[in-house]
Every structure is written in structure tokens, then in C-alpha cells.
Structure 1
Amino acid sequence: MSNPTVTAATVIDEPALLAQERGFARLRFSAQLEPGFQLYLHAKMCARVKIVAISSISFMLFFMLLDYVYLPHWVSDYTLVVRMIGLLAICFALFYSNRVGKVAPNRAFAVSTLAYFCTGLMIAMVIIVARLAEVSIRVTHDGLYVVLLSGMFLLALPMRHAIVGSGAIVAVYLLAEYAIGSSRALVISNSIFLINFTIMGAFGAYLYEYMQRRAYLNEQLLEAARNRAERESQSKTRFLATASHDLRQPLHAMSLFIQHLYEQVDSPEASKTVARLADSTQLLQAMLNSLLDMSRLSVGMVRAQERSFNLEPWLQQLLDSLEPFASRRNIRLQLRCNKAYAVHSDPLLLERLIRNYLNNALIHAEASTVSIEVQRVDERLRIAVVDDGCGLAEADQERIYEEFTQLRNPARTLDKGVGLGLSICRQIVHLLEYPSGLQSHPGTGSRFWFDVPLGEWQLQTQAPQQQHAPTLSGQVALIENDRVSREAMQALLSAWGCIVWAFESAEEAIRGLQGITVDVLLTDYRLEGERNGLMLVRTLRDQAIFAGPAALVTADTSEDVTEAARLADVELLYKPVLPARLRRVVHNLLALRQ
């Protein structure tokens, strides 16, 4: 059986499809849409081939049996031949017409209509012959009703084909009745019954094709809507990729220039001003990250990369990073977690989730203590961010998850964020499929919790913490096509004690590095020319120009780049990179070279 959803390959937009609703009651689409519907209707006809074949062949064989049993032999010999010819015509039409994609729909409909007419014609001939032979058994035209019923409804022909075939059968039969000298009363009586039956069948055939056209148009509208949604999703994806890259580039250069400026000034007042400028830059960076994260989560660009890791040291490191911010607000941070707990999750998404909950408590809860509590619930660990702040009314507990919603910031001051933190939390728990909830009452604080699958405990050696900014000494190759970012990184690395060889493109770096020896290579991912940053690293290694440690400093946050960097054994830094992190990574890479 053929697939009944075959459609034309022509793509039609939604306005053009909606315009068809005003006129397809005439059973005619536009020239652009009609061929597709003909294919659709042909497929519908083919979907009925089994029931049509069984009923038609059974019908003919049954009447052949009746002819053989009840009609005189000299009559039955004639009628059996006629019915056999009709049976062969039916078989040929079933074989020829029910091949979607191999036979044009108009030919399939024409052949089926011709077979339908021939079948009806042969039934009429049998009736007329029986009348002329004056057989003892009265032969009526009831068989014609069965044929007409099949043509109007069972064959699934277009209305016009069904009406033409049925009308021709009735006309030929009535003319034959008149030709053999049937009484006028009999001809008129048969005409009334058969013509009325044909009219009612035509109305049913009209309704059938009308409903098929409605169904086809609805399917096309759904397909057009799906295509539009896919195009919009792809457009959003391209926009986010472009916006993520283009907006991170100037922020990256800005943060590096600010750090370089901070290390150069001697005046306390100037240092204080530069520090405020750095805070403003970090606030802008946090806002950008929130907007981009929310957009990437909403269009499905984020996929979880889960692994097992130890929870307690990981949470402690997260709290330590927020300790200066909490201290400025006189808020105490606490952690209650068994040191033997391990989870199986995506570390980056889980950090984003918990950090957003913590930031919400630190900024909006008006609390004196914020804690992370972990307890085991069956085969999961329930992680809860708890505060002793002002709490939430029941009416607000759902509203806080709406985008850009802040309950206690009517002035929309930027130091309290943009109102996306909890919205991102909800998107992340849905992505990770974590059960979650909120328990809060006014004046008693809030408890945001979610359940994470248990993981396997990981044996690891704790790396010594760096107490002071590491001193740098070595030669660094820097490949960055953005002039401002290149100058910012070169100035900062030089101020830290590195000798920096800066290049604008991959081709320039390949030529320039052949005559010098460097210890570390830092490259952007998107470069001028045919090669990107990872291709440049592979080329340098293949040509034995540079085989040392390398880092990819990029504003491209796609998972493909992340996986490619991991496979190439290249350190990955996302723009805008914090100067302290850049310094630490370069120090570690220089240590590997030594």
C-alpha cells in the first residue's frame, strides 16, 4: 500500500495557502497547489486498493455464479463472457492506477473511471440481454445501484470523474431500455430512481473531495508552520552565535585593558576608579551571559555533558568564589554536605544552576545566612539553597520564574541583575530532568531544592592553591584577528613578563613561527583565511613548527568547538576571559613546557 501523505515538492508559504480557503469550495486549488493535491488524492485512492479489489472481484464472481445457476445456458454463456471481460478490466485498472509515483494522477483517475464505466456498462448489457431473452427469473437493475455506489464512494475518485462515469452508465442503460422497447412508464420510473440516486451520490462525492481538500490544506498549513518555525529557530541560532561572538569580543578586550590599566596606576583614587570600572565590566558581562544563556536554552542549543564528580569540594569551591561578594553584604555562607557524596551531572550546567540560586538569595532575599544543604533521597541527592530572608508569598512563588521579573527592584537597578536568573534555573532543571521545588513563607526564608542522580566517588589529588599571582617568564605566540583584542592581550601578557609574538592570521603565524621558538601558543578560533584556530594548531604540529601546549581563546561557545578542542588536547578559554584566569592558564602552560 502506498503512503497516503505524498505531497508535491513545491514549497508554498502560509499566506498563499490561507488564500486557498476562500475558493477551494469549487474543488479547485491554484495552479501551484493543485498538482500536489492530485498526488495526495491519488495516494488516498491507492490506500483503498485492497478493499476495492476484494469487493469488486467478489462482486463480479458472485454475479457470474448467479448467471451460471439461474440463467439459460445460451444466455449465461454470453453474460459470463461479458462479466469476465469486466473482471479483466477491473484487474487491469487496479494494477495500473494504484502506483503512486509511477503513474500520473490524471492518467490513474482516467483509467479507473474508464474501468468503472466499463463495469457499469457490462452490468447494463447483462440486464438488457436478460430482458430480451425473457428468462424466467426477473433481472432488475439493482446491480447498477451497487456499481454506482462503488464509483461514488468506494473508489475514492475525484468528484468530476465519479459524476462523469456514473452519468454515462445511467445514460447508456436508460437509452438501452428505450432501444429495446421498454414501456415509457418503466423507462421513466427507472430514470427517476437512477438519476436521483446519481445526484445523491454526486453530493456525497463532492463532500468526500471537499473534506480531502480541507485535510490536504490543513496538512500543508501545518507543514508550512513547521518549516517557518524551523527557519526561525535556525535564524535564532545564527543570531545567538553571531551575537555571542561579536558581543564577547569587545568585552574581552575591555576587561584586559582595564586590568592592564589597574596594574599601571599608582594613585589610590585612580585605582579605586579603575576597580569600579572593572566591576561595571563584570556586571555587563554577567548580564550578557544571562541573556545569551536564556536564549540558547530556549532554542535547544544546550546539551548536557554528564559525568561523575565529588560534590563537597566542588560546592566548597563554588561558595569560596562568592565569599567576597557575600562578605560585602554581611551575609554568611554555609555548606552542609557529606564529604563522601558524588553526583552524576553536567558540571557547567549544575554550577550555573546553583550559582543562580545563590545569587538570587544573596541579592534579593535580604538574608543574613545562605547555606547549601545536601541530603540523600533514595538514589538521588537533594541539593537545597536555603536562606533566612524575607521569604515569598504563595502568589509570588510561580511569578519569580518568569523572565525579567524582579519583585523588590521597582527601579530596575542593574546591580540586582536583569531578572533572568531563576528563569534560567527552570530551563536547566527541565533540560536535566531534575525534580525540583520551592518551599517558602513570608518572614521565614526560602528553600530552593532539586534532586541530582548519585555518581561514583572519584579518587583525586588536590592541587595546591595559588596564593599569589604567578610570575610569568616565557615566549608566547598570540594569533588574534581582532586588532583591539590582540593589542589588549599583548599589552597585558607583556606587562606580566612574557615576550609576545603577535600575528593577525593563521598564514602569518605559520610563516612567522618558522624562525622563532615559543613556549606557548594562544589563538582565537575564528581567524582570517581558510584555517581556524584548531586547524592552525594541527598544521603547526604536522609541520613540526610548534608542538608545545596551546590554548584556544574564543567567543564561540558551541559544543562542537568544545569537543574539537578536547580532542585536540587544547586548553579552552571563553571570551571575555578574566585576567586572573588568563594569567593562571598561561602560567600552567608555561610550566608544562618546562
Structure 2
Amino acid sequence: MSNFKASTQEQSQLLQAQLDDGFRRLRFDQPLESDFKAYQTHLIQRRVGYVSLFSIVLLTLYACVDFLFLPDRIWEFTVMVRATMIVPVIILAYAFFKQEPKPNTIINATFLCYMMMGIGVIAIIGGSQLGGYDIPYEGLYSVILFGFFLLGLPFKLILFSTWGMWWLFGCMELLVGHTENLLPELFFLASMCAIGTVGSYLHEHTLRSGYLKHRLVKLSQQQAVADKEAKTQFLAAAGHDLRQPINAISLISDALAQTLIHSDNNPQQQVMTERLTASVDMLNRLLDSLLEYSRLEMGEVEPYWEKVPLDTLTHEVVSAMTTQLEAAHIKVHLHVATQAHVKTDPLLFERILRNLISNVIQHAKASEIHISTAINNQTITLEIKDNGCGISKEHQEAIFDQYYQVTPNRERGMGLGLSIVQQLADILNIRLSVTSQLNEGTCFLLSVDCLEQDSLEQDHQEQKLLKQNIQASSH
């Protein structure tokens, strides 16, 4: 873990330093530059198929236009050139779909196809002029824009290809003797190339900046996950190591209390023993919460689904907590429907109920708890309502956060009880909500899908049949 953390910190520092220093020359320090090239190549490879298809359609469309509107001697030449331009595009698309070429191969092949498109357009313009038909030079605009916005090539290749096309076009015009409007044409093409050059530079600069920030975010997320796992493992290990000495202290405290009961020691010793016992109990509760929380965080809690009668489960939990409820002078009113059955893990569901009732005992300052059910269609809602001090609205959204307490008091826990309830509810697919008002109590609602009666009867019949088979086999 320490090696991973050091490696992550080094990478983060490298990325942040590169981001702070800037990259006006559009180049990172190694090995970051190689990683970015692979990322850029991946982006190009993702669009190759669509760009190739668009190129083929566009070239075919222009060939049809040539056939319809140009003289025979001209369109025969232009169509042949356009067919020649289609061939490398098809080969490029086929090769990329059939295999995984190297990053440099992808970039270079895409660049060569783009250059052949530009050379092909220049050849069509020059050949038509030699044949006595003047085709406008604006066709190069489409090729240049095509490279700027669709291919996503590196800035240096775009710079070389676009200005190379501009230079080839000027040379071709001089060779064919078409120089009457050459300067205005070169000027407009140069303007287009300049605008595209600036746009391409800004595009790659933005892409590099986004790449650095994306890497920083991913590293931060990985570090956060690693820190969380380390914390959880530490809690689990510490809880396990503390369990034995705490159990030993608890046994000694109980033995001491029994000794004082049968002796004539002074009351002060009895008070100190009671405080010791209470402190050990509190320490045990804190340790239990930490261990359960660590198991939940590590994903070690797996539910074992059963069909459970909700009324029986609720009565068992309340009966088990009678001593604590009586000590807090809290009276419980149970109104749970006997026909309410749910498919859940009884141990985890019991833990939820225990934590919610314990929360009332420790924090609500209540004298009564009403536990009832309401069935609506196939949803059953278990309501746990007290008449205590309530929770203000600004705290209600945060009470399920870990280590959060409305009124911090470590003697009453660490603020993990309701966080554990929320996590267990998520595991059991229980919809948990709370409503509360100051000085008017708090109501927790647990909504879960109930089982249909037909399903219960079928399950009962299966259990009855299984029991009969067991009895028959025993005889």
C-alpha cells in the first residue's frame, strides 16, 4: 500500500508540474508524452470508421456530380482520380477493423490518406484545366476543413499537410499556366490554412490540458479508494486486537462486582465498580460499531435471504431490548400486522431495528416508541416513531453520514449507528426515510416489498411436504 501511495503521489506531482509549466510547444516530458500519444491515437482510431464511411460517400457523390455536369473527357479523368482516392480509404478502414495496429501506424496511415485526398483534389483541378475546363479551387477548402475538424491529427501533421497542399496547389497552377488569378487564390487559401492552423493548435492544447486534468482526477479517485481501504483494514485489525483485552477487562469487572455484592465494602467502591462496568459496556458498543462498519465498508456483508414474518421478528427485537428500554423509561407500543411477510436477511434486518431503537434510547429523550406497519399494494412500510426531542431540518439529511452526531457526545457512541442502518438498508433493498420536527419526535420509515399470499401458501406447502418426506424416511 505504501508503494502504491508513493507511486500515485509521484504521478500526481508529475502531472501537476506539467500542467503548471504549460506546454506551449505541444509536447510533454517523457514518459507522459508517450502516454498522451497513445491516448490521442485511441481517439483517432475511434473515429476512423465514421470518417472513412463519410469520405467514401462524399467521393462517390462528387463522382456522380462530375458524371452529370462535366464533359466526357473531363469526368472520365476526375472519376478515375476519385476512385484512386477511395482505395486507400477503404484499405485504411479495413485494416483498422481487422487488427490492432501500432499507434504510429494509425497516425501515419491517417495522415497519408489525408494527403492523398488533398493531392487528388489538386490533380483534378490541374487536369481539368489542362483539358480546357476550369474547375474552381474552392474544393481545397473542403479538404482543409475536413482535416481540421474530423481527423483529429496532431497539430504538427496538420500544419505540414495543409500548408503542403497550399504549396502544391501554387506549383500546379504555375505548371499548367493558370496564373491569372493565382495570387488572390493563394491568399484566400492561405487565410483558410492560417485559421485552421490556429484552430488546430488550440484544439490540441485543450486536448492536452483535459488529458492532464482527467489523469489527475483518476489518480485522486484511486488514492481515495486506497485510503478508504487502508482505513477500513486498520479498523478491522485494531478491533480484532482490542477484542481480547476488552473481554478480559469485562470479565474482571463482572467478577469484581460480584465480589463487592457479597462483601461489606464501602459504597464508594461499589459506585466505582458500576462506573467501570458502564465504561466497559460503552467500549464494547463502540468496538462493535467499528467492526460492523469496517465489514460493511470492505463489502464482507452478504445477505442470506429468507421469508420472514415481520411481526415475529419485531417482537423478538423488542423483547431482547426490554432491559435497555426499561432503564431509559421508554414504553413500546407494537402494532405490526401478523400477515406481513418480507423476503430479507433476518439477522441484518434485526440489526437495523436494534440500531434504530438504540438511537431513540441514546439520543431522542423519548418516553414512548410506536412501532407499526402499513401495507399498500405490494409494499409494506414499518414505522418507528418516538415522542422525543426531534431533529431539526438542517440535520436530517446528514444524520446517516458516518461519524455524524447532532449533538456530539462520544460517551453515547461515535455516530456510526445510523450510517450502519443506511448501509444495511441498501444491502437489503429497503427504502429508508425519516421525518422529524423539533420537540415533536422522529419517525423512521422502512419500506420493503412484501411477499404475496400465494407465494406464502406455496412455501408453506413445500415445507409441509418436506417435513412429511423426512418423517417417512425416518420410519
Q: Same fold (TM over 0.5)?
A: yes
Cα separation, 1, equivalents of 2:36 and 2:362: 60
The residue aligned with 1:225 is: 220
Q: Amino acid of the residue matched to residue 70 of structure 2?
A: Y
Work out the CA distance in 2 between the residues paired with 1:144 and 1:54: 20
SS of match in other structure, 2:181:
helix
What's the secondary structure of 1:48's corresponding residue? Answer: helix
Q: C-alpha distance in 1, partners of 2:449/2:328?
A: 33
Do residues 436 (structure 1) and 440 (structure 2) align?
no
2:355 and 2:417 in contact (8 A); partners too: yes
Secondary structure at the aligned position of 1:373 is classed as strand
Amino acid at match of 1:146: S
Greater helix share, structure number? 2
What's the offset of the Cα at 1:401?
5.4
Q: One-letter code of the match for 2:433?
A: S
Instruction: Tell me what 2:237 maps to.
Output: 242
- Matching residue's letter, 1:250: P
Asked if 1:151 corresponds to 2:147, the answer is yes
Partner of residue 472, structure 2? none
**1:346-404: CA deviation from partner (whole Å, max 9, x where unpaired):** 3333333322333333344444x434432332245544444455555666656765644
- Give the aligned partner of residue 164 of structure 1: 160
- Structure 1 residue 421 and structure 2 residue 420: aligned? no
Name 2:16's counterpart in structure 1: 18
In structure 2, the CA distance between the partners of 1:187 and 1:243, relative to structure 1 (3 Å rule), is same
1:112: which partner in 2?
110
**1:248-397 correspondence runs (5 A):** 248-259=243-254, 266-267=262-263, 269=265, 276-294=275-293, 296-297=295-296, 301-337=300-336, 341-367=340-366, 369-378=367-376, 379-390=378-389
* Paired residue total: 439
Classify 1:372/1:308 alpha carbon distance in 2 versus 1 (closer, same or farther; 3 Å).
Answer: farther
Distance in 2 separating the partners of 1:389 and 1:81? 89
Q: Work out whether 1:129 is the aligned partner of 2:127.
A: yes
- Equivalent AA in structure 1 for residue 165 of structure 2: I
Q: Deviation of residue 200 (structure 1)?
A: 1.7
C-alpha separation in 2, matches of 1:229 and 1:111: 41
The alpha carbon displacement at 1:95 in A equals 3.9
Shift in CA distance, 452/164, structure 1 to aligned 2, threshold 3 Å: closer
User: What is the Cα deviation at residue 296 of structure 1?
Assistant: 4.7
Map of 2:188 onto structure 1: 193
Deviation of 1:284 after TM superposition, in Å, equals 0.8
Check whether the contact 1:438–1:448 (CA below 8 A) recurs between aligned residues.
yes
Indicate the residue corresponding to 1:492 in structure 2: none
Could you tell me which amino acid in structure 1 is paired with residue 109 of structure 2?
A: V
Q: Distance in 2 between matches of 1:239 and 1:307?
A: 33
Say if 2:125 and 2:134, in contact at 8 Å, map to a contact too: no
For 2:138, the equivalent position in structure 1 comes to 142
- Counterpart residue identity of residue 117, structure 1: M
SS of the aligned residue for 1:29 comes to coil
Contact kept in structure 2, 1:304 and 1:346, CA below 8 Å: yes
What is the percentage of aligned positions where both structures have the same residue?
A: 27
Write the distance in 1 (CA, Å) between the matches of 2:252 and 2:445. 40
Cα distance change, pair 279–68 in 1 and its aligned pair in 2 (3 A): closer
- Structure-2 change in CA distance of 1:446 and 1:93 (3 Å): closer
Unaligned runs of 5+ in 1: 1-9, 460-594
> What residue identity is the alignment partner of 1:160?
K
In structure 2, relative to structure 1, the CA distance for the partners of 1:289 and 1:125 (3 Å cut) is same
Cα distance change, pair 176–301 in 1 and its aligned pair in 2 (3 A): same
In structure 1, the residue corresponding to 2:321 is in which secondary structure? helix
Shift in Å at residue 286 of structure 1? 0.7
Report the CA distance between 1:249 and its aligned residue: 2.7
Q: Summarize deviations over 1:435-485 as a string: whole Å, max 9, x none.
A: 43334552x5554443454465999xxxxxxxxxxxxxxxxxxxxxxxxxx
Deviation by residue 1:296-339 (Cα, 9 ceiling, x = unmatched): 54665544434233444544443343333444455445544455
| 1:159 alignment partner AA | F
Contact 1:336/1:371, CA 8 A, preserved across alignment: no
One-letter code aligned to 1:436: S
Distance 1:332 1:84 in 2: 90
Structure 1 pair 26–99 and aligned structure 2 pair: CA distance change class (3 A):
farther
SS in 2 for 1:27: coil
Contact 2:432 2:444 in 1 (8 A): no
- Partners of 2:372 and 2:384 within 8 A in 1: no
Aligned AA (1:166) = T
Go from structure 1 to structure 2 and tell me whether the alpha carbon gap of 1:188 and 1:333 turns closer, same or farther (over 3 Å shift). closer
Work out whether residues 127 and 139 of structure 1, in 8 Å CA contact, stay in contact via their aligned partners in 2: yes
Q: Deviations 1:262-305 (Å, cap 9, x if unpaired)?
A: 66775354787656533322221012223444455466554443
